[in-house]
Structure 1
C-alpha cells in the first residue's frame, strides 16, 4: 500500500519545522548573549570597573545554561511520556514570552536590585525552554527521516543555531547603528520585542507536523516507561557521560567564537562593536552554508569517522584564528574566525544525529536532552566566563585562550573515540547503537 502524500511530505515538513523552531529559540538565546556582551553590564550591573560589570553580565548568561538540564529533564520526561510535539509547543511558548519580557524589563536605575533579579529569573525560564527544545527538535526531524537518513535530517535542527545567530546579528547590527544614547535607552530592546512576531510564526509552522512515528509505535506497543530519566541512569549512565563530553566543542565553540569573541575584540584589541558584529555575521553565513554539506559528507564516510576528523581539525583551528584576529582588519578577522567555526560547525551538525541513535526510543528524548544540556551548562555557560578571566589574567597574550579551545575540542575527540569503541563492543545490541 502506497503512503499518502501527506505522509510522504512529513519528513520534509518535520525537518523544516525543526529548523524554523530552533532558529527562533536560538535567536532568542543569542540576542540575550549579544546584549550580555554589549549592554547588560552597564544597565543591570553598574560598576566602576567594566571587567566586573561584564563578568556579572556573563554570569546571568551562564545561569540560563545551568537551567538547561532542568528543562531537559522536565521536557524529556514529557516528550518520552506524552509526545515530542506537545513538549516542543510548550518550549517555544516559554522562550518567546520570556524573551519579550526581557525587552520590557526596566533597568537598575529605575527599580534598583529588582531589575537584575527579574533578569535572572527570565533567563532561567529561557534556559528551561531551550533545555527542552533541542532534544525534541532533533528527534522530530530524525525520527521522521527516511531510513538511513537520520544524520542529515537531524542536522536541520542544528541548522537553526547559525540561522538564529544570523537573525540576532542582523537585529543588533541595526540597533547598534543608532546613536549610543538611543541604543542604551530603547534600541537594544527592539530585537527582544520582535520575538513576539517570530513566536507566532513558529507556532503556526509546528502545528502542521505530526507526532514522531517512532514514538507513536512505542506508545501503541505500550513500551513507554513511567520514569524515563530513571531508566536512563539505570541502563545508560556511561553512554550519557560520554555523550556529555562528546558535545563539548559543538556547544562551547559557539559561545567562544561568538559571545566571548565580541567582548574580547572590543575590550582587548580595540575594534568597534559594529566591526566585530559585521565579521560574525559573515562567519554565521559561512557556518549556515557549511553545516548541511558536513551532514551530507558524514553520511558518505560515516558519522563517527567524520566527527573524529572534525574534532581534530577543531583542536588545531584556534592558532590561525587568533593570529588573524589580532590584526584587527575585517577580512583577516572573518577568515580567522571562519576557520575555527567551520571545524566546530561541521562537528555540531553531525553530533545530533549520532547521539540520537545511541539510545532506545522509549528514553531517547530524556537521554539526549540530559547529555546535551548538562554539557551546555558546563561547557557553554562557563566558556565566556573562562575566556574573559583568561584574557584578563594574560593581558595581551592569546595563546592561553587558544590552548583552552584546543582542550575543549580534545574532550570531544576522546569521547567520540570511546563511543565508537563502545559501539563495536556492543554490536549485539542494535537498539543501543548509533544510527548509520
Structure 2
C-alpha cells in the first residue's frame, strides 16, 4: 500500500462521519420542513375546515403517515444495505427524499385541484417516510463501521447530529418566509424551503460519492458471509433485542416531535404565542441541542454508553415539568430555558443511542435490525406523539400537567428498555467469558 493510499484510508473515518452528518442533515431538513408546514399551513391549504382543530388533526395525520411508511423503508433498504452495501442504499434514499420534497413545494392546494391535492400530499409523504426509513440505519453504520476501535458511539453520533442541524436549517428557512404577509406566505412563501432542497440534494450526493463502502461490510462480502434474507434472520434470532431497541429509542424520537412539532401548535393555539416567536425560541434551542449532542457523546465515551443513557432517560422523565411552567410565561427567555431543559436531556440520549443499539447486533444483519428497531419506534412514538399531544391539549384546555405526564411516560419506556438491554449484554458477556474459560481447560 502506497503512502498516499494509506493517507486516504486514514481519512475515511472522518470523511464517513462528515458524510453521515451532511446526509442526515439534508434528510432531516426535508423531514422537518414538512413537520413545520404541517403545524403552520397544511391544515388550511390541504384540509380546509370550519373547525381549526379538525384541520390541524388532519394535517398531523399526514405527518404521521410518513412515520408509518418508515418501517417499510427500513425493511427495504435494510435488506439492500445488508445484501449489496450501505453506500448504494444511502445514495438511493437521499435521491428519493430530495425529489419528493421538491415535489411537495410544487403541489397545488385544495382550492385549485380539490381532493387530488391531499391525496398527492399523502403519497409524497409516504415517499419521504420510505426514504428516511432507509437513511438512518445506513448513515449510523457508515460512520460507526468506519470508526477506530472503541469509538463507535462517538463516530455514530455524527449521524445523530444531522437531526438538530436539519432542524436549524428548517427553522431558518421558515423563519425567513414567515415574515411575509399571510396571503403571500400561504400562496408561495411556504414553498420556498421545499424548493431549496434541490440545491442541498446536489451537495449531499457529491459528498457521499467520496466515501468508501463500510470496511466491516466489505470484509463480510469478501468472505461470502452476507445474509441472504437478513430480515428473516433478525426475526429468527434477535426479535427480543429488536423489541427492546424499539422501546429504548422512544424518548429520542418522540421527544423531538413533542418539543418541536407539537410545541408549535400548542403554543400558537393554546398559549397565544405568535408563529415567529415560537420559531425563534425553537431556533435558539436547536443551536443548544447542536452543541450539546457532541458533548454528550464525548462524556458517554468516558463513563460508558449504558450508564450515560440511563442517566439521560431519568433526567428526561423529570424535564417536562419545568419546561411547561416556563413556557406558560409566554416570554422568550423563560421559554427558551424551559424547552432547552427538556431538549438537552432528550438530545443527550438521542446522541448516544444509535451507537449503543448498533453494537447489539451482528454485522451481517445490523442494517436491517437497527433500521427496523428505529423505524417501528418512529412510526408509533414519533408519528403519534403530535396527535396524542394535540388531543390532550384539546381535552384538558388550560392544564399542562397531562402533557407533562405523557412526556414522562415516553422517557420511562426508554429507561426500562435500556436497563433490560444492558442486563442482556452483561449476561451475554458473562456467558462468553464462561465458555472461553471452559474451552481453555
Question: So what's the TM-score if we normalise by structure 1?
Answer: 0.98
Residue 327 (structure 2) aligned to one of 319, 325, 328:
325
Q: How does 1:238-387 map to 2 (within 5 A)?
A: 238-387=240-389
- Residue 421 of structure 1 and its aligned partner are, at CA, apart by 0.4
Give the aligned partner of residue 433 of structure 1.
none
- Residue 63 of structure 1 and its aligned partner are, at CA, apart by 0.1
Does residue 71 (structure 1) correspond to residue 76 (structure 2)? The answer is no
User: After superposition, what is the alpha-carbon deviation per residue over 1:43-101, rounded to whole angstroms, capped at 9, x for unaligned?
Assistant: 00000000000000000000000000000000000000000000000000000000000
> Using the alignment, how far apart are the partners of 1:354 and 1:424 within structure 2?
13
Give the aligned partner of residue 426 of structure 1.
428
> Using the alignment, how far apart are the partners of 1:271 and 1:426 within structure 2?
51
Does residue 193 (structure 1) correspond to residue 188 (structure 2)? The answer is no
Give the aligned partner of residue 129 of structure 1.
131
- Residue 225 of structure 1 and its aligned partner are, at CA, apart by 1.2
> Using the alignment, how far apart are the partners of 2:149 and 2:110 within structure 1?
54
> Using the alignment, how far apart are the partners of 1:113 and 1:184 within structure 2?
18
- Residue 12 of structure 1 and its aligned partner are, at CA, apart by 0.2
Paired residue secondary structure (1:426):
helix
Paired residue secondary structure (2:238):
helix
Unmatched 5+ residue regions in structure 2?
Answer: 434-441
Residue 145 (structure 2) aligned to one of 136, 143, 149:
143
Residue 83 (structure 1) aligned to one of 82, 85, 91:
85
Give the aligned partner of residue 161 of structure 1.
163
User: After superposition, what is the alpha-carbon deviation per residue over 1:23-61, rounded to whole angstroms, capped at 9, x for unaligned?
Assistant: 000000000000000000000000000000000000000
- Residue 429 of structure 1 and its aligned partner are, at CA, apart by 4.8
Does residue 57 (structure 1) correspond to residue 59 (structure 2)? The answer is yes
Question: So what's the TM-score if we normalise by structure 2?
Answer: 0.97
Count of aligned pairs between the two proteins: 430
- Residue 165 of structure 1 and its aligned partner are, at CA, apart by 0.1
- Residue 424 of structure 1 and its aligned partner are, at CA, apart by 1.0
> Using the alignment, how far apart are the partners of 2:432 and 2:16 within structure 1?
28
> Using the alignment, how far apart are the partners of 1:225 and 1:152 within structure 2?
27
Does residue 114 (structure 1) correspond to residue 116 (structure 2)? The answer is yes
Give the aligned partner of residue 434 of structure 1.
none
* Shift >4 Å, 4+ stretches: none
Residue 19 (structure 2) aligned to one of 17, 20, 32:
17
Residue 417 (structure 2) aligned to one of 415, 418, 423:
415
Give the aligned partner of residue 174 of structure 2.
172
Q: How does 1:390-409 map to 2 (within 5 A)?
A: 390-409=392-411
- Residue 121 of structure 1 and its aligned partner are, at CA, apart by 0.1
Q: How does 1:18-57 map to 2 (within 5 A)?
A: 18-57=20-59
> Using the alignment, how far apart are the partners of 2:426 and 2:86 within structure 1?
30
RMSD over aligned CA atoms reads 0.8
> Using the alignment, how far apart are the partners of 2:341 and 2:116 within structure 1?
42
User: After superposition, what is the alpha-carbon deviation per residue over 1:353-381, rounded to whole angstroms, capped at 9, x for unaligned?
Assistant: 00000000000000000000000000000
> Using the alignment, how far apart are the partners of 1:221 and 1:203 within structure 2?
29
> Using the alignment, how far apart are the partners of 1:218 and 1:51 within structure 2?
52
Give the aligned partner of residue 210 of structure 2.
208
> Using the alignment, how far apart are the partners of 2:193 and 2:425 within structure 1?
44
